């Protein structure tokens, strides 16, 4: 009877996750729709290459600032209201961008979009609320799979929609992205279920603004958020320079680089879909995290070594395996570090560190590539990751392996 009750509860939790996973899919498709268009769209207003880069940076900057705030608000007032509100803000931001008449308006739109898209931590908190700790990494990995597939689909649809646009050029993808966010709002409003929490419990939940600096003073949480920053920094840096690396070592062009990135995405999805759950059950979340960081270092070292194209594919596949293991397990471990009512705040801080990594990674990697090419970028990246590997081993030795009962 106990086993049947746990199985029924497990299925119920999975069904509760579906609306939020669908929201993540729709929102990421909408985000990906505008990615290939934004540099060309901004040129209507005389944007320089530096201004185009700044448009992307504005998104990450506001996301970094607001992610902890939305996490805290969701702890206090619930996940569902914050997800609904953020989706409606995204609708307005995308529609505003479709009618933007100046470069300043584009910057404001991107900043608002960054703030509203900081709801990823809230979606993670929603999933954490509905999964047992020993199953959390697998659930976070499912979220990563959904995000990866949708992000790959978005640019393809965006490019097709851009060809349909006449006046103003390129407006159709922004309208489509807004419509998708409106669908996401309806999905959350109609199907997501907020757990019943009393008013007294709500008032006790959440981390005050004054307490946020103290969160990073906790050694275990500092290791996890620092590791998320480091892996995101490396991941974004690799993405920014992989085409230059392929051109330098193998004289590859856009077609070959596109096939390589498709392979990398496929490997990462496969690891998160099929591998994370099995590895976590065998070695625990912390053990999977150590393995992921070690594989990332091996991948970076392999990318620093000139060789044949096959070695390049293997090197990038190692990075995909490493990132596929680390991203969901970090989120799961962060969600277990706080008291009840702090999960959204903790995941918000974690996402903020990831946004900082995405902001700095391309700039640092690009600067290093200019100075010393691929060898400097990837060898130095491997060297930098030794510190996080040591910290992860320290963390793993102090973290028990959770076994699923029943």
Crossing angle for the helix pair 79-98 and 120-129, to the nearest 10 degrees? 150
Q: For position 8, what pLDDT does the model report?
A: 42
Structural fold of domain 1-192: Growth Hormone; Chain: A; (1.20.1250)
Q: Where are the domains of the chain?
A: 1-192, 212-399
**What's the CATH code, domain 212-399?**
1.20.1250.20
Integer Cα distance of 115 and 64 in angstroms: 8
Integer Cα distance of 381 and 386 in angstroms: 9
Per-residue pLDDT band for 234 (boundaries 50, 70, 90) equals: very high
Hey, do 1-192 and 212-399 end up sharing a CATH topology, with the first three levels equal?
Answer: yes
**Tokens at residue 188, please?**
């959350």
Asked if residue 261 lies in contact with residue 151, where contact means CB atoms within 8 angstroms, the answer is no
Integer Cα distance of 90 and 66 in angstroms: 14
Q: For position 227, what pLDDT does the model report?
A: 94
Please tell me the total number of residues recorded for the chain in this structure: 406
Identify the weakest region by mean pLDDT among 62-66, 205-209, 239-243, 392-396. 205-209
Total Cβ atoms within 10 A of residue 213: 8
pLDDT in tens, 97-139: 888 888 898 889 888 988 888 788 888 888 888 877 777 888 8
**Residue entry with tokens 């706080």:** 338
Chain centroid, CA 11 distance in Å: 26
pLDDT in tens, 22-70: 888 877 777 777 766 777 777 778 877 677 777 777 888 888 888 888 8
Q: What is the pTM of this model?
A: 0.80
Q: For position 4, what pLDDT does the model report?
A: 37
Residue 277 has pLDDT above 80, yes or no: yes
Identify the CA nearest to 382 among candidates 268, 267, 302.
302
**Stretch 220-243: mean pLDDT, rounded?**
89
Per-residue pLDDT band for 14 (boundaries 50, 70, 90) equals: low
- 236 vs 159 pLDDT, higher one: 236
């Amino acid at each position: 009877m106990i086993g049947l009750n746990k199985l029924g509860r497990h299925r119920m939790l999975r069904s509760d996750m579906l609306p939020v996973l669908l929201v993540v899919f729709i929102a990421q498709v909408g985000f990906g729709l505008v990615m290939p268009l934004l540099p060309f769209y901004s040129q209507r207003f005389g944007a320089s290459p530096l201004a185009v880069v700044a448009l992307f940076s504005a998104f990450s900057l506001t996301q970094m600032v607001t992610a902890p705030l939305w996490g805290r608000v969701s702890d206090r007032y619930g996940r569902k209201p914050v997800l609904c509100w953020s989706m409606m803000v995204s609708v307005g931001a995308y529609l505003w961008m479709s009618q933007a008449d100046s470069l300043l308006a584009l910057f404001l739109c991107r900043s608002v979009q960054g703030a509203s898209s900081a709801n990823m931590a809230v979606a993670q908190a929603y999933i954490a609320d509905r999964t047992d700790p020993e199953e959390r990494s697998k659930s976070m990995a499912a979220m990563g799979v959904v995000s990866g597939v949708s992000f790959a689909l978005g640019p393809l649809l965006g490019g097709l929609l851009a060809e349909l646009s006449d006046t103003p050029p390129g407006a159709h993808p922004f309208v489509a992205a807004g419509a998708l966010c409106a669908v996401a709002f309806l999905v959350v409003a109609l199907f997501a279920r907020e757990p019943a929490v009393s008013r007294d419990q709500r008032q006790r939940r959440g981390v005050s603004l004054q307490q946020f600096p103290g969160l990073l003073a906790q050694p275990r949480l500092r290791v996890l958020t620092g590791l998320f920053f480091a892996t995101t920094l490396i991941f974004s840096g690799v993405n920014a320079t992989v085409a230059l690396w392929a051109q330098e070592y193998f004289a590859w062009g856009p077609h070959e680089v596109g096939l390589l990135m498709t392979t990398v995405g496929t490997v990462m999805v496969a690891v998160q879909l099929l591998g994370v759950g099995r590895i976590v059950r065998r070695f625990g979340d912390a053990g999977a995290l150590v393995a992921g960081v070690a594989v990332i270092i091996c991948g970076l070292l392999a990318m620093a070594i000139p060789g044949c194209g096959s070695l390049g594919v293997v090197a990038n596949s190692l990075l995909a395996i490493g990132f596929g293991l680390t991203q969901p397990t970090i989120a799961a471990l962060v969600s277990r570090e706080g008291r009840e009512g702090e999960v959204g705040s903790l995941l918000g801080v974690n996402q903020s560190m990831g946004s900082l990594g995405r902001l700095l990674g391309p700039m640092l990697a690009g600067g290093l590539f200019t100075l010393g090419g691929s060898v400097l970028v990837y060898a130095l990246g491997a060297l930098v990751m030794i510190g996080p590997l040591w910290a992860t081993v320290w963390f793993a030795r102090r973290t028990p392996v959770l076994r699923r009962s029943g």
